[in-house]
Chain A
Amino acid sequence: MKYLHIRNAHLIDPAQELDETSDLYITDGRIAAIGHKPSEGTIDRTIDAQGQWLVPGFVDLSCYLNEPGYSQKGSIARDTHAAAKAGFTHICAQPRTRPVADSSAVIQQIVERSAQANAARVLPLGALTKGLQGEQLSNMVSLRNAGCIALSNARAPIKDSYVLRRLMEYAATYDIRLFITPLDTALAADGVMHEGPTSTRLGLAGIPETAETVALAQILLLAEQTGARVHISQISSARSADMVSDAKARGLKVSADVSLANLCFTARQVNGYNSRFHVEPPLRGEADRQALLAAVNRGELIICSNHRPHEIAAKKAPFAASEPGMSLYNCFLPLLLKLIKDDELDRNAAIKALSTLPAQTLGLDRVFREGAIFNATLINQTGASQSCSEEDLSSPLSEPLPGTASETFVDGQLVKWH
């Protein structure tokens, strides 16, 4: 038997509170041994991981891959590689494609492109309603059978609470996972950023916090009534974090995520009409950011990238006319490491929020133990990140900062960097 030997890695696995320097032996894409050399076989290759973190592969519960349909913004090939460089092994792609991912054909196309790309694996999210129109239920069971790990509304409004109730009931019948973004579009009205002092100063229409919390209350109550398996996608406010906490405390099986942008930035970044920070959900106040960080540190909130890249023309416009979304994969690790370095995020809580917790939501195995398929990433904290350039107007950073994945293993396979 031949082994891949990862030497002197700093192993961190929050699922079993593993936090030590050790060696790992891999064979046939599975973990053969941790700490000690297997009694039989020879070492085929050794990776010296001195000073690097070896963590369970990150699972992203939200990104926009723009394929099929929006090739000017990104592609599965490009963005799954960027995701792997950011430490992700599995990424959930929102169904906002053209055509919308509401049919088995589109899902199959996405799965095939992901296999060809051979980087982070795409776990497609199917559209919850036909055409993401919010009215007619999509063929939920067919979509699951075609490979959808869950169904999502991708911030498109669900017509009303009646439709929301019925789609939860139907999904609950077949135990289909739902990803729902809490957004009351009537309250959000024509808003383009967080309603607060910065929106007032800039004269930009604001999105009140209640546009999220009112919808969240509705989702939580209907989830309780219908027994649907609901994951709340991208909360942005302190109050939402409390509401999710309370729901969990009452025994409701819900999970929720926050996009990294909402942990790093606040509405003040929009000053100067900076369209790089035009995102959905909007960046909110400092108290919101602190509450979201605290929820991650308590182990109650998952971190997602909500990676949503755009071409230059989509961002080079007056703020309200620019398209919402931020390209996150290229700068994901530098931003995350900075939060850890600044003591805003606990390191192990952050890794848990990126691996153990989202894996639980999706029912994936993500524990370092002998016999498990190896999904992991080696993080080099000082290595230069992927290119974050001034020209990429959907990136929050205009220059590279330290932090990169030196190696990423997806389902036992080492990703080959381009």
Chain B
Amino acid sequence: MMSDPSQLQLAPNGELRHFLTTEGLSKELLESILTKASGFLDSKGDLIAKVPLLRGKSVVNLFFENSTRTRSTFELAATRLSADILNLDIQRSATSKGETLMDTLWNLEAMHADMFVVRHADSGAAHFIAEHVTPNVAIINAGDGRHAHPTQAMLDMLTIQRHKQGIEGKVVAIVGDILHSRVARSQIHALKTLGAAEVRVVGPATLLPKDIEDLGAKAYYDFSLALRDCDVVIMLRLQKERMQNALLPSESEFFRLYGLTSEKLALAKPDAIVMHPGPINRGVEIESAVADGPQSVILKQVGYGIAVRMAVMAMAMSGQRTNQAGPEAPQ
């Protein structure tokens, strides 16, 4: 039977064995990811030298959807953990030939990989793979449809932790296309679990998914109002096709209402930080002066991304080992 993702990603002893979503994971576990990731950074926030944690392990980057940036950071993370890495860009080619995801998986199982890093356009794809692949392969979700992008969310948590001295009690605004954003969903779950005082989602009704407040976020249509008392402002990337789908009239109107300018940023707390999962659209969701300004930590996020991915990969591989060694067979 289909199981709850939060249960599926834990070994019987509570260790992480897949990383599919931030939803349902305990505060302790999320904090241990951040601690582990911090261990891969030196005092200046730069990555430390290569470690042998995944020596002899093979990691397959399984990208059904193109993403050079995310794939590269996973590749770098695996390399720094001394793993062997193989990149497979499957995209739509295999499936368009009539091969189902199950067919693809059966072929890949023959490779005897230890870990799959999965990016797929269907929500729930990483979860599906974790359920159906041989039990001792760790699955790391590198983005599934609109559902989750948990490593991106955790690197954002690490960024907030390092630049705002913790997440507890902070007011965070996530701005833009929430509807299509897997990043926003993963951020909301992580922020709520880690004790953020308030998570605000900001955008027009066309870009806010129905019943988003059920996830614990507060919906705002007015950007100025949403910025009040904010410690962290997270801007999301706006895709061009939103204009064609009648979700927005134009980039310029969107920028007028929800673009982050210096004047708008002045409405937040004076020491607020600005984040963006990248790649940024200058002049669409964010003004260059803000993106490159003193409050922006956008470039820092990239380096943290490698540390977080190293942490998650190391933890999931360790969880797989205890899982295999344990007396209980996986479900």
Contact = CB atoms under 8 A, between A and B. Distances in A.
A316 interface: yes
A273 B127 contact: yes
17 contacts: A201-B185, A201-B214, A202-B123, A203-B124, A203-B182, A206-B210, A271-B4, A272-B4, A273-B123, A273-B127, A273-B128, A276-B2, A313-B100, A317-B128, A318-B123, A318-B124, A318-B125
A398 interface: yes
A339 interface: no
Interface string B1-45: 111110000000000000000010000000000000000000000
Nearest to A275: B2
B148 interface: yes
Nearest to B180: A203
Interface residues of B, number: 30
Given A203-B185, A390-B1, A318 B122 contact: yes
Interface stretch (A47-55, A146-154, A158-166, A192-200): A192-200
B125 to A, nearest CB: 4
Nearest to B129: A318
B211 interface: yes
A321 interface: yes
B211 A200 contact: yes
B100 A320 contact: no
Contacts of A272: 2-5, 127
A218 interface: no
A202 B101 contact: no
B23 to A, nearest CB: 8
Contacts, number: 84
A223 B150 CA distance: 51
B123 A319 contact: yes
B276 interface: no
A208 B1 CA distance: 28
A320 B182 CA distance: 16
Q: Which of A196, A199, A200, A313 has the most CB of B within 10 A?
A: A200
B205 to A, nearest CB: 13
A204 interface: yes
A-B pairs, top 3 by smallest CB distance, nearest first, are A203-B147, A203-B146, A273-B124
A202 B5 CA distance: 10
Given A201-B215, A203-B182, A317 B146 contact: no
A317 B101 contact: yes
B280 interface: no
Contact of A320 (B122, B148, B210, B212): B122
Contacts of B101: 317-318, 321
A97 interface: no
B50 interface: no
A204 B132 contact: no
B102 interface: yes
Interface in A33-78: none
B220 to A, nearest CB: 16
A311 to B, nearest CB: 11
A274 interface: yes
Interface string A178-213: 000000000000000001110111111110100000
Contacts of A195: 210
Interface in B188-214: 209-212, 214
A202 B124 contact: yes
Contacts of A273: 2, 123-124, 127-128
Nearest to A318: B122
Interface in A304-343: 313, 316-321
Contacts of A275: 2
Contacts of B285: none
B237 interface: no
Nearest to B101: A317
A283 to B, nearest CB: 15
A321 to B, nearest CB: 6
A316 B214 contact: no
Given A273-B128, A320-B123, A321-B101, A204 B146 contact: yes
B120 interface: yes
Nearest to B8: A272
A318 B212 CA distance: 23
A196 B148 CA distance: 17
Given A201-B23, A202-B123, A317-B128, 16 more contacts: A195-B210, A196-B210, A196-B211, A197-B210, A197-B214, A197-B215, A200-B215, A201-B215, A203-B124, A203-B148, A273-B127, A273-B128, A316-B100, A317-B100, A318-B122, A319-B122
Interface string A232-275: 00000000000000000000000000000000000000011111
A402 to B, nearest CB: 21
Given A272-B5, A273-B2, A390-B1, A200 B125 contact: no
Contacts of A200: 209-212, 214-215
